């Protein structure tokens, strides 16, 4: 059993399996989440269930959050019953959410006043990577803090990269990741709908594409959703749209033109307007299917 005590706040689709992997690695983990069902499962697995963020934070040397958006992180970190209230002096806070780098910097500055250190460490790999402990983790912050956190990261991920010495650097890399993943999903959707409408078996098409330069993790992990016509939430459309909004904001702030991302953001907005925000992001294909008048699963 490792001597480092952890707290994990935000035990949803990603956070729940990440916490389970920390428990399997021998960590003592205090947990808090707004919705109770994940806490019941984690409690049975050996986690200490807490009644608030501050209570969980008070029990930990290292505090981890995995939350939907920037306001959630700001509230959990700096709110009246949050990490700032509960954390011990000298604790390390690791935010594994995908949020605005500017908010990460704001939170880090506020916590620094209580001698709480911070890393921003967003992840990629989706629910599958979270369950299997194979996430890619991109980390921004002080090198010494990163080294301290590496054993914790190793319980949750496979590719762990210290991308920069500033809190927020991890967020910029994650934004870049979400641009690329979104564009891969868009390309896959257009390609498979086109081939399928031409009469090509989509499974055979995937097999052919997977053997060449078009191969990607997106095709391997999300292509089967299109073939089945089922898009169970792994990473929801509404959350990917949020990440693309962060990309648009970062592009504007930094003076970087990202026209393809802009078009992608508008398509994700159309999906949200159509009531499909809870679908997995591979459900982007449903919009292409609508425009083409053809479904990959079963034809028109």
Tell me the whole-structure pTM to 2 decimals: 0.92
- Residue-wise pLDDT for 147-172, tens only, equals 999 999 999 999 999 999 999 999 99
SS3 201: coil
Mean pLDDT of 215-235: 94
Tell me how crowded residue 134 is: count the other CB atoms within 10 A of its CB: 14
SS3 266: helix
Mind listing the domains of the chain with CATH numbers?
Answer: 5-167 (3.40.50.720), 172-292 (1.10.1040.10)
Query: Sorting pLDDT into bands at 50, 70 and 90, what band is 76?
Result: very high
Q: Which residues are catalytic?
A: 174
Report the share of the chain in percent with pLDDT over 90. 94
- Residue-wise pLDDT for 94-126, tens only, equals 999 999 999 999 999 999 999 999 999 999 988
First vs last C-alpha separation in the chain: 56
Question: How far is it, in rounded angstroms, from Cα 37 to Cα 40?
Answer: 5
Is the pLDDT score of 1 beyond 50?
Answer: no
Q: How confident is the model at residue 126, as a pLDDT?
A: 86
Q: How confident is the model at residue 300, as a pLDDT?
A: 54
- Residue-wise pLDDT for 171-191, tens only, equals 999 999 999 999 999 999 999
Q: How confident is the model at residue 233, as a pLDDT?
A: 87
DSSP letter assigned to residue 88: P
Query: Sorting pLDDT into bands at 50, 70 and 90, what band is 86?
Result: very high
Q: In the chain, at which residue ranges do the beta strands (DSSP E only) sit?
A: 5-9, 28-32, 48-49, 62-65, 92-95, 117-120, 123-124, 135-140, 157-164
Question: How far is it, in rounded angstroms, from Cα 61 to Cα 228?
Answer: 45
Mean pLDDT of 205-222: 96
């Amino acid at each position: 059993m490792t001597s480092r005590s952890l707290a994990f706040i935000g035990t949803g689709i990603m956070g729940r399996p990440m916490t389970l992997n920390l428990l399997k690695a021998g960590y003592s983990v205090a947990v808090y989440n707004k919705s109770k069902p994940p806490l019941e499962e984690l409690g049975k697995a050996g986690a200490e269930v807490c009644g608030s963020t501050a209570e969980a934070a008070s029990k930990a040397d290292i505090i981890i959050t995995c939350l939907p958006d920037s306001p959630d992180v700001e509230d959990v970190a700096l709110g009246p019953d949050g990490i700032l209230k509960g954390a011990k002096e000298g604790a390390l806070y690791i935010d594994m959410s995908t949020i605005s780098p500017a908010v990460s910097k704001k939170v880090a500055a506020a916590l620094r006043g209580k001698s709480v250190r911070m890393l921003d460490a967003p992840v990629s790999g989706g629910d599958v990577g979270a369950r299997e402990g194979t996430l890619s983790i991109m980390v921004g912050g002080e090198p010494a803090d990163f080294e301290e956190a590496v054993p914790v990261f190793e319980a949750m991920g496979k590719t762990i990269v210290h991308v920069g010495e500033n809190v927020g650097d991890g967020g910029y890399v994650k934004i870049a990741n979400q641009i690329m993943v979104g564009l891969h999903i868009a390309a896959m959707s257009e390609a498979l709908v086109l081939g399928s409408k031409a009469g090509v078996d989509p499974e055979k098409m995937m097999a052919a594409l997977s053997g060449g330069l078009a191969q990607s993790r997106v095709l391997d992990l999300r292509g089967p959703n299109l073939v089945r016509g089922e898009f169970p939430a792994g990473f929801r459309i509404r959350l990917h749209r949020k990440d693309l909004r962060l990309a648009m904001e970062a592009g504007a702030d930094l003076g970087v033109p990202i026209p393809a991302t802009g078009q992608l953001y508008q398509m994700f907005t159309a999906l949200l307007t159509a009531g499909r925000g809870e679908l997995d992001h591979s459900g982007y294909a449903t919009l292409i299917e609508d425009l083409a008048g053809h479904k990959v699963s079963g034809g028109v």
